[in-house]
Amino acid sequence: MMVLHYLPSLTGVERAVTDAVFLSLTVFPSLYFFVLKPMKLHIAQRYSAEAEKDRLIKELKKALDEVKTLRGIVPICAWCKSVRDDEGYWQDVEVYMEAHTNAEFTHGICPDCVQKVEL
């Protein structure tokens, strides 16, 4: 190393020890601050991101398990509004919807039907 040129003449062992001490005092702290410390920070950020990803996956799986929807064509009678299920049986629309969705029904009478019933 260049520092060794300024020191008095040293033996091989003394030169090796001096070189090792110099490396320990200059190179290793530089490696720590410029390589190892940023690497540790990056690893910690990756673990945090991985934990967040796992949390979101669990949350999405839970939401997907709770979702119950109808898709495709639903065969319904044009007259009585009964629905034909996959096995070919006809059911009231309320029964079919409650079985295939999370919907619940309450019943009432609309104003048009109230007028028809009163006649």
Share above pLDDT 90 across residues of the chain, in percent, rounded to a whole number: 23
Q: What is the mean pLDDT of residues 35-56?
A: 95
- Better-scored residue on pLDDT, 99 or 67: 99
C-alpha 53/C-alpha 5 separation (Å) is 56
| pTM to 2 decimal places | 0.43
Q: What are phi and psi of 89, to 5 degrees?
A: -90, 145
Q: Which of 109, 75, 68, 104 is nearest to 91 (CA)?
A: 75
Of the chain, the end-to-end C-alpha distance in Å amounts to: 111
Q: What is the mean pLDDT of residues 82-94?
A: 89
Q: What is the mean pLDDT of residues 24-53?
A: 91
Tell me the two tokens of residue 76. 């319904």
